[in-house]
Amino acid sequence: MTTGLLLTLAALSIVDSTSFGTLGIPVYLLLVLERSQVSRLLIYLGTVAVFYFLVGVALMLGLSTVLENFGDALYSRTAYWVQFVLGVGLFALSFYFDPKRRKKLGKPERRFEPRLDGPRAMVLLGSTAGLLEVATMVPYLAAIGVMTTSDLPAGQWVPLLAAYVLIMIMPSLVLLALRGVARDWLEPKLERLRVWMTKHSAAAVSWALAIVGVLLVRDAAFYLFFR
């Protein structure tokens, strides 16, 4: 385990901490939940952290097993064609969320406003946010790839993964603490941040899908057409 690896993972986790699921929804919850309901935000953040940790463990174990047993098949022309088609599909799907395109077609812009209820709803909300974002969270997937290719033993990558997801939710925990001691000062700023993130949430999803699609297509096209 090198310092460069640790810095890379820290940088990727900080980027992930600004996503709609790890910051946008918590900011919204901070604004609408009363002090007596703060535990709901903690339940939500805990659900997100556990979800990503378990997904990370599954990917770490699954990727190493797949690479060991099916490495040749994954680098075949058939596999690269599947990757190419998947990339094109993700890129095409990005236009479905693009606010500018929806406006041209006369369709309403998609907004992501979470519904609130009891603790069970917070668990469902956290799980749903994770499911919707995990495939498009390029930094998280990149971090998994970095740890996989670094051949780290489980005794190293498990705590690294735990630290990664903790950093992901840390900004929201800090905002929660600040809200407890400086609510009147913080809430107007949170409201502006909530409005901005809600307004741009669809665009963020669109860009994330497009970026992942382009990366998949570029990698597959290099193998299929330029080798």
pLDDT tens track for 57-68: 888 887 656 656
For the whole model, what pTM was predicted?
A: 0.62
Which residues contact residue 122 at a Cβ distance below 8 angstroms, ignoring those fewer than 6 apart?
A: 40, 41, 43, 44, 47
Residue 88 lies in a domain: no
Residue 92 lies in a domain: no
Residue 86 lies in a domain: no
> Is the pLDDT confidence value at 226 over 70?
yes
Q: Sign of the C-alpha dihedral, residues 139, 141, 146, 152?
A: positive
Residue 215 lies in a domain: no
Residue 212 lies in a domain: no
Residue 224 lies in a domain: no
Burial class (CB in 10 A: 0-12, 13-18, 19+), 21: buried
Residue 222 lies in a domain: no
| Measured distance CA(69)–CA(60) in Å, rounded | 14
Residue 97 lies in a domain: no
Domain that holds residue 25: 3-75+111-199
Domains identified in the chain, total number: 1
> Is the pLDDT confidence value at 53 over 80?
yes
Mean pLDDT along residues 95-105: 65
Q: Interior CA angle at 94 toward 189 and 56, to 5°?
A: 75
